[in-house]
Structure 1
Amino acid sequence: MTLWNASLPLTILEAKGLTVDIPTEDGVVHAVRNVSFSIRPGSIFGIAGESGSGKSVLTQAVMGLLPNADIRGEVWFEGRNLLSLPQSDMRRLRGGRIGMVFQDPLSSLHPFYTIGAQIAEVLHAHETIDREAARARVIDMLGKVGIPSPAERFDSYPHQFSGGMRQRVMIAMALILNPALIIADEPTTALDVTVQAQIIDLLDTMRRDFGTTIILITHDLGLLSSVADDVMVMYAGNRLEYGPARNVFRSPAHPYTAGLLRSTPASYAPGAQLVPIKGRPPSLLATPAGCIFAPRCSEQLADCTKQRPPLRVYSDGVESLCLLEPRTAPPSLAGAAETIEVKTTPSEQIARIEDVRLTYHAGSFFGQKRTLEVLKGIDLTIARGETVGLVGESGCGKSTLARIVAGLTPATSGKINVLGHDMSHLKGREWREMRRQIQLVFQDPFGSLNPRRRVGAIIGDPFRLHGVAAGEERREKVRHLMEMVGLNPEHYNRFPAEFSGGQRQRIGIARALALNPALIICDEPVSALDVSIQAQVLNLLKELQRELGLTYLFISHDLSVVRHICDRIAVMQGGKIVELASSEQIFANPQHSYTRTLLSASKTLSVADDDGVARSLIETRQVTA
């Protein structure tokens, strides 16, 4: 937590009744509704909530980046109301006093300009400075954010950096003018756990060294619980809970916050049935008479749908917009002990991978042929009915190995045997039959679906391509698959854009199940989903495995997800499997130093560990207003 300095002002940013309405063709979207908060200087202020809750829109309104929106209320920063400032003054504040770190550093950096030139542009826009002085300051800042050989990397292009390095470049760009406030919008999403830890440590170091205040927007509750001083939980544009992060996460006041925590796999024993938040977020076009969360609330009262909930202020500084007077039960009480039966080790092997290697030819350099060895002798078996996890940093070869197993990329050497067939000897019709036995579920549930085709056609494609069923028989099979994965069969003729992210992932799972495959490869299937939707998809995968005897090869960078769903885990580093053991052995007694590094870098939240603390907080907390 941040040490308080009496010489600092009480707040650096304060919002009062901030409301953002965005006109669209379908009507007015009420993106932010009467939100108030204050941020202490030098602190990390976390904003959490599901997609569409208004987190990013709120900060964009603060930055003056919503020119067509109707923004009301007050936002005070360094004695000035940002909502009433002329655009010329806001342009000077952006970058100068308020910096921004965006979620996707690759799309935020121009591919045609060097990273040094792009950071220097910020200096030239706000200061009168010559090229050499700007270059020196940029190189100094690149060194401070941990870019190796900063003088040499000044002239590098964005594509020559890894995801973590590009995010460091964005942080350097935000810090180059030493702003008082930095807004980091999902800065660690889709990054490996070690890179996530590096980025968060870097932001914390910058906070300590420069006194910078940080607004951290994320759906990773475990991350917020470990670094945030204060937190605001948003839902459908409303602020539902607000207060010191430690108190909010250990004993949530609002059922929505408790529901988010209950959806996190880290709050459960491995294999337990997760308890997600039911339903889906409401339309932001409507304005309900009662509590916005009431339709999804497991503790709904009779008056919740009729009247606006009051603001309750508790003795420990937590504020909640809820009719419930008592604090809600701690998340660890929700089925954490309801574990699924432990499976015995199956004897039948679905896949056997022996000494698989993959080498790419990288052209010539001064007449010398260069090669890149991606996989360096992989040995792995996958038994029927089990889930084998693949973890490791980006570039270690996880997805490459999955593509080789799926037959999409040929191996340079080694042997891959699936269902007793040597993959290297398959030809023609044999290959076509093998493709029925191995299916994939991709990371991006929208990018992997054709937006111009209806869902029924997408799910029915495997039947059509393999000549399994046609006409009414195919439609019945597709509707059966939709029902099996929790989709409404009546939505057969809808397009992917008409479904939520979690529903689109269910469409991908239904398509993978169509031909009853022997092996399903799940490549980061829940990394882009909110925790509540993630819990629904993980429950679905476990349920389908029990009912259909499915076998999964599961790739993920989220160690809490891997521990929850996998029987065994293979840890990859530099194209090799450095450790392979049961999930519990990996987490309880890791043998390899790299495995220990991954585990130490993982920012996970385990409410069950603090159950006693949570109970005592509930018992002693009192409503003060």
Structure 2
Amino acid sequence: MAILEARGLTVDIPTEDGVIHAVRNVSFSVKAGSLFGIAGESGSGKSVLTQAIVGLLPNADIGGQAWFEGRDLIGLPPQEVRKLRGGRIGMIFQDPLSSLHPYYTIGAQIAEALYLHEKIDRRDARARVIDILGKVGIPSPADRLDDYPHQFSGGMRQRVMIAMALILKPSLVIADEPTTALDVTVQAQIVALLDAMRRELGTTVILITHDLGLLSSVADDVMVMYAGHRMEYGKGAAVFRSPAHPYTAGLLRSSPANYSPGSELVPIKGRPPSLLATPAGCVFAPRCSDALSDCAVQPPPLRVYSDGVESLCWREEGASAAPAIAAPSPPAKKENGRAAEPVVAVKDVHLTYQVGSFFGPRRSLDVLKGIDLTVEKGETVGLVGESGCGKSTLARVIAGLTRASGGSVKLLGQDIGALDGARWRDMRRNVQLVFQDPFGSLNPRRRVGSIIGDPYRLHGEAHGEERKRKVRHLMEIVGLNPEHYNRFPSEFSGGQRQRIGIARALALNPSLIICDEPVSALDVSVQAQVLNLLRRLQRELDLTYLFISHDLSVVRHVCDRIAVMQGGRIVELAGAEELFANPRHPYTRTLLAASHAPPVLAGASDRSLREMRMVAS
């Protein structure tokens, strides 16, 4: 029995540039008690679709029907939708820190839903909140009830958001990218928690994500969206085992899990189309490597296959899924039969902070506890571990942004702790960083030419036309159009903004580039493009990388060696393949067990066509 059934949903959003056709004729059915997954790249319409259903797009023009428990949500008055939202339909948003109010305790924010939807006194509300916090895994819930959001870790804040969504025992919960910014172990905990709530409370879950590995491990049914259209729809096992649509196959093919380590990834070419105009033919045709002559001129038919999978495509035989496996890149360069002198040598590094309030007692907090690590010239060393283990702190110490409390860090043979200001400023050019958020790390008020040229300006190099020429050359190296020199960051896509950050890091020809979660915020197809770029630049420019990530399939693909950090220590250090094949430390085995890789694509689909019928695209 379906708890939610959408029929021909369309969402048009008026803007200054015109009407954005965000969702086009999308139909789907969610069975009661199931986990329904919605996948696709950023801008495909996943979040807009669900927000339109629950009345969170008041200015949009919404057509079609969305039947929930016998009522069409699209036709309900706003006050009726508000009663259902929270009471019968819960929402879990992507960023728990920005979704929780910093001025109110988590107990007060969870209890607010009770006061809005029920007549309840404070004592009963407090008891209900403590009970739900315990169910979602918050330790000592009675003691944490009056804490503020900033006093919780990212995983704990997401548990608070889940508690807020479940406090009224809704029959449907919509989880919008609930695990994107979380470590693999925390991701596994959150997914297990959602699954437990589904089984224990009978709650139906709609999970929106671009993490296909995660979705393939938990979803009963899956809908793949692109540019506002439903491209593929069916049982999760059938869709991921043998994708029918070239777009689904392209997403799976973009994952590093489908390639030998170090080989060239095959991303989906091109960029998603503008949603201001609806194309005459298939919306995916310009990026499709399997496009037929009819794809560009006529809307594709809906094909239904023998395993129940539905695909909006002109192809009858299903998508070709096998990736082209390239040979891995050569190992780090050697000189005279031995490794070159390490670019970085970290020896017994400690870092201790003094924490506590101004008026209260202060105590010491050990963040790094005796780190030993070397990074050889031309290699990529990965750092993995949960949030708070010290990965980014170690990177800041190596980059000279934080001074170690003990031990030594040698960069190109020089102890950076012994350098004075002038000598360190000269040495600083040898280590650069690429940050996680490609938009937050770029000044939105400055043009990209100025942003990329900052290292030249700060170090007194390349003035005037010479600087402009070098910046344009850097843009060309990383795959950006040099003619876009005067554009602002907002005029670029996420992948292009990350390329801007990489170009800025390359400006001074550094000996070491520290990549701190450089692809975690990107869609899988854009992620593949950036990883290919980093690998190509390493080969051509003989670069050395320290690569921080929580995505183990990415780390395995790009890294020569991997260091596993836990509690401020490196608990295991080994070659990438050796670590994955034979993990020695229990914590490493825990990380590997918690990761979700997309299913490996073995070859082309052998699905037989059962039925074909024409529909409006």
Is TM > 0.5 for Structure 1 vs Structure 2?
yes
Alignment of 1:14-29 (within 5 A): 14-29=5-20
Cα gap change, 1:285/1:364 in structure 2, threshold over 3 Å: closer, same or farther?
A: closer
Structure 1 distance, partners of 2:302, 2:207, is 24
- The one-letter code of the counterpart of 1:226 is S
- The one-letter code of the counterpart of 2:311 is S
Q: How far does residue 343 in structure 1 lie from its aligned partner after superposition?
A: 4.2
Q: How far does residue 527 in structure 1 lie from its aligned partner after superposition?
A: 0.4
Deviation track 1:102-159 (CA, whole Å, cap 9, x = no partner) reads 0011111111111111111111111111111111111111101100001111111111
Percent identity of paired positions between Structure 1 and Structure 2: 75
- The one-letter code of the counterpart of 1:103 is Q
Give the equivalent residue in structure 2 for 1:264. 255
Give the equivalent residue in structure 2 for 1:388. 381
Structure 1 distance, partners of 2:596, 2:193, is 15
Number of positions where the alignment pairs a residue of Structure 1 with one of Structure 2: 608
Give the equivalent residue in structure 2 for 1:543. 536
Q: How far does residue 467 in structure 1 lie from its aligned partner after superposition?
A: 1.7
Give the equivalent residue in structure 1 for 2:428. 435
Q: How far does residue 606 in structure 1 lie from its aligned partner after superposition?
A: 3.7
The one of 63, 73, 80 aligned to 1:89: 80
Give the equivalent residue in structure 2 for 1:340. 329
- The one-letter code of the counterpart of 2:542 is G
Give the equivalent residue in structure 2 for 1:53. 44
Alignment of 1:212-611 (within 5 A): 212-330=203-321, 333-336=322-325, 338-343=327-332, 346-363=339-356, 369-608=362-601, 611=602
Structure 1 distance, partners of 2:300, 2:317, is 14
Structure 2 distance, partners of 1:193, 1:431, is 37
Structure 2 distance, partners of 1:510, 1:301, is 37
The reply on whether 1:31 has 2:22 as its aligned counterpart is yes
Cα gap change, 1:367/1:113 in structure 2, threshold over 3 Å: closer, same or farther?
A: closer
Cα gap change, 1:48/1:509 in structure 2, threshold over 3 Å: closer, same or farther?
A: same
Q: How far does residue 508 in structure 1 lie from its aligned partner after superposition?
A: 0.3
- The one-letter code of the counterpart of 2:214 is L
Structure 2 distance, partners of 1:68, 1:403, is 45
Equivalent pair of 2:106/2:149 in contact (CA under 8 Å): yes
* Contiguous gaps of at least 5 residues in structure 2: 613-617
Q: How far does residue 40 in structure 1 lie from its aligned partner after superposition?
A: 0.7
Equivalent pair of 2:444/2:489 in contact (CA under 8 Å): yes
- The one-letter code of the counterpart of 2:609 is Q
Structure 2 distance, partners of 1:497, 1:344, is 39
Deviation track 1:339-362 (CA, whole Å, cap 9, x = no partner) reads 333446633210100000000011
Q: How far does residue 55 in structure 1 lie from its aligned partner after superposition?
A: 0.3
Structure 1 distance, partners of 2:599, 2:245, is 18
The reply on whether 1:201 has 2:192 as its aligned counterpart is yes
Structure 2 distance, partners of 1:379, 1:96, is 53
Q: How far does residue 477 in structure 1 lie from its aligned partner after superposition?
A: 0.7
Equivalent pair of 1:443/1:524 in contact (CA under 8 Å): yes
Give the equivalent residue in structure 2 for 1:126. 117
Q: How far does residue 73 in structure 1 lie from its aligned partner after superposition?
A: 0.3
Equivalent pair of 1:100/1:184 in contact (CA under 8 Å): yes
Structure 1 distance, partners of 2:216, 2:377, is 38
Cα gap change, 1:324/1:412 in structure 2, threshold over 3 Å: closer, same or farther?
A: same
Structure 2 distance, partners of 1:548, 1:428, is 29
Equivalent pair of 1:272/1:335 in contact (CA under 8 Å): no
* Alignment TM-score, normalising by the size of structure 2: 0.97
SS at match of 1:183: strand
The reply on whether 1:65 has 2:56 as its aligned counterpart is yes
- The one-letter code of the counterpart of 1:521 is I
Equivalent pair of 2:234/2:308 in contact (CA under 8 Å): yes
SS at match of 1:207: helix
Cα gap change, 1:184/1:389 in structure 2, threshold over 3 Å: closer, same or farther?
A: same
Structure 2 distance, partners of 1:369, 1:43, is 50
Q: How far does residue 369 in structure 1 lie from its aligned partner after superposition?
A: 3.7
- The one-letter code of the counterpart of 1:571 is V
Structure 2 distance, partners of 1:480, 1:280, is 23
Deviation track 1:174-230 (CA, whole Å, cap 9, x = no partner) reads 111111100000000110000000000000000000111000000000000000000
